[in-house]
Amino acid sequence: MTQVSILSACFGGYDSPTPVPTQTVEHEAVLVTDSITQIKGWKSKIWEPKTVDIRTASKRVKCQPMRCVSDNADVVVWMDAQFIIKSPKFIEWCLTSLGKSQIALMEHVHSSSISEEATRGRGPAGRGRFTTMDTLGQVHSYIDSGHPDDWGMYHSGLMIYRTNPKVIAMLDDWLAEQEQWSTQDEISLPYVIKKHLNRRPKKIDHPGWKNEFWDLKVRGRD
């Protein structure tokens, strides 16, 4: 039987995670946080980041799943804490979306290339989060190394993947790229996927931001 772990993180009260409905598939749901939190369906794991900001702390959880979930996890479903699980068949939907692939992602709805995403992040959509980071130099570095600008763009708020060595190495490299360049992680995501898996992720059919399986809260601040 496939062992599934849902993983999320919330630091500094940035989001308000919601309960996980009872699922039709056996699983664990791990919420890494910096405060004692009791939310139905989640197992809280306390981590108080002392040397990094809350954004970087969340990225480290996102990219280092095996430090957080059970050792026997075969599939991890990462979800940003702003996602709300609505259906008891959410995990069923995730496993169907993954199929036999190594990783399944939704295509980006705003950017079609890493250069477009970098430019977008430096504009109003980025809300000032990335203006001090060298995202344009990051893009040029990737393109100079042979990565096609428009190879693919993917949303990183919901990720479904297998915990095999190739994927774990990809996630480790993804964190390294973010710590070297920028926390605008959707710039480096296609680069590390192509580098380590040498194929595009399976495309998750986008059911819309409000659907029968999950919903997405609008953040009041970022």
Q: What is the pLDDT of residues 207-219, one digit of tens each?
A: 788 899 999 886 5
Q: Is residue 27 part of a domain?
A: yes
Q: Is residue 163 part of a domain?
A: yes
Residue 219 is predicted with a pLDDT of 59
Low-confidence ranges of the chain (pLDDT < 50): 220-222
Q: Is residue 31 part of a domain?
A: yes
Residue 68 class from Cβ within 10 Å (0-12 exposed, 13-18 middle, 19+ buried)? buried
Q: Are 46 and 34 in contact (CB under 8 A)?
A: yes
User: Any bridge partners for residue 66, and if so which?
Assistant: none
Q: Is residue 30 part of a domain?
A: yes
Structural domains counted in the chain? 1
Q: Are 133 and 181 in contact (CB under 8 A)?
A: yes
Q: Are 25 and 4 in contact (CB under 8 A)?
A: yes
Q: SS3 of 193, please? A: helix
Q: Is residue 222 part of a domain?
A: no
Q: Return d(Cα 85, Cα 220) in angstroms, integer.
A: 19
**Whose CA is closest to 48, among 72, 32, 30?**
32
Helix (H) or strand (E) holding 135, with range, is helix 135-144
Residue 220 is predicted with a pLDDT of 45
Length of the chain: 222
Q: Is residue 104 part of a domain?
A: yes
Residue 33 is predicted with a pLDDT of 95
pLDDT in tens, 48-58: 887 888 989 99
Instruction: Find the domain containing 157 and state its range.
Output: 4-216
Q: Is residue 208 part of a domain?
A: yes
Residue 222 is predicted with a pLDDT of 38
Residue 209 is predicted with a pLDDT of 81
DSSP symbols for 13-71: T-S---PPPPPSS-EEEEEEESS----TT-EEEE---SSS-HHHHHHHHHH-GGGTS-T
Q: Is residue 194 part of a domain?
A: yes
Residue 127 is predicted with a pLDDT of 79
The CATH number of residue 31's host domain is 3.90.550.10
